[in-house]
Amino acid sequence: MDLGILGKKALVCASSKGLGFGCAVALANAGVDVTMCARNEGQLIEAGKKIRKVGVQATIVVCDITTQDGVERVLEKIPNPDILINNAGGPPPGSWETWTNDDFLSAIQSNMLTPIKLIQRVLPSMIENRWGRIVNITSGAVKAPIPALGLSNTARAGLTGFVAGVSRQVAKYGISINNALPGVHDTDRIKGFDETMAKSLNISIEEAREKKALSIPVGRYGDADEFGNICAFLCSQHASFIIGQNIVIDGGAINATI
């Protein structure tokens, strides 16, 4: 399918690997030039090379996107993106008794205030251009909260609330803002969780993966490419009537009708 976004320019945050990289690849395959960022330089350089091989431009910015400096440095390279993919690392798991005020502030900064800030910064030019696409990578935990991920549940709920309002305010300018909610996708973040699960159940990592995969109706983990392709569709010309939605991409793991 022609996504109709050839020649557009995208900012894909936190994109040297995992879901962010999957989105960058899918957008590049649709002919979109991509600006990417991550903290680890080596991995980001390699990711940029892979994107350029597709035949589009890839600009890389080594930064922590959750800082003011990171936001400024990225926007210096791409002040007026047509497409914004908001992403950052997720907060660590834990338990309600031990989370401190600083833990909450850090999660809120990474997974709520940073994406909100970027949305605020890119919207004026999207409004002027009468076209824009924003996809926020959040989590299935927004719809079905995971107790150990309370920091994530809290911060992402705030972003989801903001998006619900602003997406409807700017829809008349040809701007579509939505959230993509991953379930379990085979990335390094999930590998870390699998290791923890294996240790706590005293089983091998392979057994932990198998156990988790069985809890997903599709019977397997998702991958970053299929996640990226859905994200690219949400950035396409065809997505102009999809506004303020929370699209769950989880192989059916959340058992809910709506």
Near ligand NAP by CB under 6 A: residue from 12, 26, 190, 230: 190
Q: Supply the minimum distance, in Å, between the C-beta of residue 99 and ligand NAP.
A: 16
Output the CA angle 107-181-14, nearest 5 degrees.
55
Say which residues have a Cβ less than 8 Å from residue 239's Cβ, sequence separation at least 6. Answer: 133, 176, 178, 233
Contact flag: residue 66 with ligand NAP (CB under 6 A) = yes
Is 89 a binder of ligand NAP (CB under 6 A)? yes
When asked if residue 160 is in the footprint of ligand NAP (CB under 6 A), the reply is no
| Closest distance of CB 57 from ligand NAP, Å | 19
Q: Is 228 helix (H, G, I), strand (E, B) or coil?
A: helix
Enumerate the H helices of 14-113 as residue ranges: 18-29, 41-53, 68-77, 101-108
Q: Which spans in 59-99 are helix H? A: 68-77
3-class SS at 179?
strand
Binding status of residue 51 toward ligand NAP by CB under 6 A? no
Q: Residue 2 or 195: which CB sits closer to ligand NAP?
A: 195
Select from 5, 8, 18, 151 the one that contacts ligand NAP (CB under 6 A): 18
Query: Does residue number 136 form part of the binding site for ligand NAP (CB under 6 A)?
Result: no
Q: Does 189 bind ligand NAP (CB under 6 A)?
A: yes
Token code pair at residue 230: 């859905």
The tokens describing 124, both together, are 């004026």
Closest CA to 62 of 80, 81, 89, 35: 35
Asked if 117 touches ligand NAP (CB under 6 A), the answer is: no
**Does residue 37 belong to the site contacting ligand NAP (CB under 6 A)?**
yes
Least CB distance from residue 118 to ligand NAP, whole Å?
12
Query: Interface with ligand NAP includes 78 (CB under 6 A)?
Result: no
State both tokens at 172.
């008349």
Helices (H), 33-172: 41-53, 68-77, 101-108, 114-129, 150-170
**19: contact with ligand NAP by CB under 6 A:** yes
For ligand NAP, which is the closer residue by CB, 31 or 89?
Answer: 89
C-alpha triplet 251, 87, 236: angle, nearest 5°: 70
Using the Cα atoms of residue 134, residue 229, residue 205 and residue 256 in order, give the sign of their dihedral: positive
- Give the span between the Cα atoms of 223 and 18, in whole angstroms: 9
Nearest residue relative to ligand NAP (C-beta): 90
- Shortest separation between residue 202's beta carbon and ligand NAP, angstroms: 24
Least Å from the CB of residue 92 to ligand NAP: 10
Q: How far is the CB of 63 from ligand NAP (least distance, A)?
A: 6
Return residues touching ligand NAP (CB under 6 A): 14-20, 37-40, 43, 64-66, 87-90, 137, 139-140, 182, 184-185, 187-190
